[in-house]
Amino acid sequence: MDMLAQLIGQEIYGTFLVFVRVAAAIGLLPGFGEYAVPMRVRLMIAVVTALALARTVTGLPPIPPDAAVMAGHMAAEMLVGAFLGLGAKLFLAALQVSGNIAAQAVGLANPFNIEGAGFEGGSMLSGTLVIAALAALFATDVHYLMLDALVRSYGTWPAAVMPDIGMMAGRFAQLVAGTFRLGVELAAPFLVFGLIVNVALGLINRVMPAMPVYFVGTPAMLGAGLIVFMVTAGVMLTACLAALTAWLAGR
C-alpha cells in the first residue's frame, strides 16, 4: 500500500511540474494568453495540455523531502515557461511597433487611443495588425508549433533543473533586439512614405505660404497612407508569422 501511495504521489508531482511550465507558457503565449481570454479558460487549456504532455516527459524528479527544493523545482519550471511565452509574445509586439510607426506616418497616432489587442498606447493600425495576426496564427496552425515547442523545451531545459539565468537573460535580450528590428523593418515603407510626404508638404508650404497645408495635406496623406497599409499589411503579417515559426522551430 505504501508503495502504491508513493507511486501515485510521484505521478501527481511529475504531472504538477509539467503543469507549472505549461501554465506559465499558456498564460503568456499569443492567442492563449490574451486579455480577452478568461482566466478560467486559460487554466483549463493548461490543465488539459499538461495532462496530455505529462506522459511524454522523461526525467521528472522524485518528490523532494524538503519544501525548499520543491519550491526550486517550481521556480525553474515557471521560469522556462515564462521565457517561452514571453518570447513568442514579442513577435506580436513587433507588429505593435510596426503599426505605431505606420500610424505616426499616416497621421492616425493618438496617445489617448484605447487599444483592444492587449497593448497599451496602441493605435488603430497596430490593433488591426495584432488582431489579424492572432486570427492568422490559428488559421495557419502555428498554435500547434507552440505546443510542440513546449514538448521540445524539455530537451533544452530538463524538468526541475534551474536554467542558467545569465544565458537565458542574454538570449532574451537578443530576442528583444531582434523583434524590435523586425518591427522597424516591417514598417520601412511607412518610414519612406512619411519622409516623402513631409518633405513634399514642406516644399509646398515654402512655395505657397498662404496655402493651408495642414488642412489640404492631411486628407491626402491619410488616404495615401491607408492605401499603402492595405498593400503591405499582408506581407507584414506573413513575415511576422514566418519569423515566429522559425523561432519556435529553433532556427
Q: For the segment 73-104, what is each residue's pLDDT rounded down to a tens digit? A: 899 999 999 999 999 999 998 998 898 899 88
Model pLDDT, residue 78: 92
Instruction: Summarize pLDDT for 229-248 with one digit per residue, the tens.
Output: 999 999 999 999 999 999 98
Look at the chain and report how many structural domains it folds into. 1
C-alpha span between 163 and 160 (Å, rounded): 9
Classify the C-alpha dihedral 246-247-249-251 as positive or negative: positive
| Cell numbers given for 100 | 505605431
- Whole-model pTM: value is 0.84
Question: How many other CB atoms are found less than 10 A from the CB of residue 103?
Answer: 24
Model pLDDT, residue 1: 46
* Mean pLDDT score across all residues of the chain: 85
C-alpha span between 145 and 150 (Å, rounded): 9
Please check the confidence at residue 11 and state whether its pLDDT lies above 80: yes
pLDDT band for 159, please (50, 70, 90 cuts).
Answer: confident
Is the model more confident about 48 or about 10? 48
| Cell numbers given for 239 | 513575415
Range of the domain at 192: 2-248
- Average pLDDT of the segment spanning 191-207: 86
